[in-house]
Amino acid sequence: MRRCRSVNYMEKFLLCELNYKNTTNKDANVTVTSNVVYSERIHWNENEVNRILNHLNKQRA
């Protein structure tokens, strides 16, 4: 997860992309343009992200 710097979600294609670098310097938590939702990791709540990752790891076990 530490390598993930940002995420794009394309609603039209139901596609989620994890990015290894930030693509913008905006201070917004979430940016929505042309059916694409973009968010940088620096704006994420680390406790919530860890809770989700723990849940996913339990599903894989």
* Complete DSSP assignment for 1-61: -TT--EEEEETTTTEEEEESS-------S-EEETTEEEEEGGGS-HHHHHHHHHHHHHHH-
In this prediction, residue 2 carries a pLDDT of 64
Full-model pTM: 0.64
* Low-confidence winner among 14-18, 36-40, 43-47, 51-55 (lowest mean pLDDT): 51-55
Residue 29 lies in a domain: yes
Does 1 fall in a domain? Answer: no
Q: How many domains does the chain have?
A: 1
pLDDT at 1 over 60: no
Would you tell me how many other CB atoms lie within 10 Å of the CB of residue 6?
20
User: What span, in angstroms and rounded, lies between the C-alpha atoms of 42 and 22?
Assistant: 9
User: CA 59 to CA 24: how far, in whole Å?
Assistant: 33
Least confident of 3-7, 21-25, 35-39, 41-45: 21-25
Q: Is residue 17 part of a domain?
A: yes
pLDDT at position 18 is 87
Residue 48 lies in domain: 6-60
Q: Does residue 13 form part of some domain?
A: yes
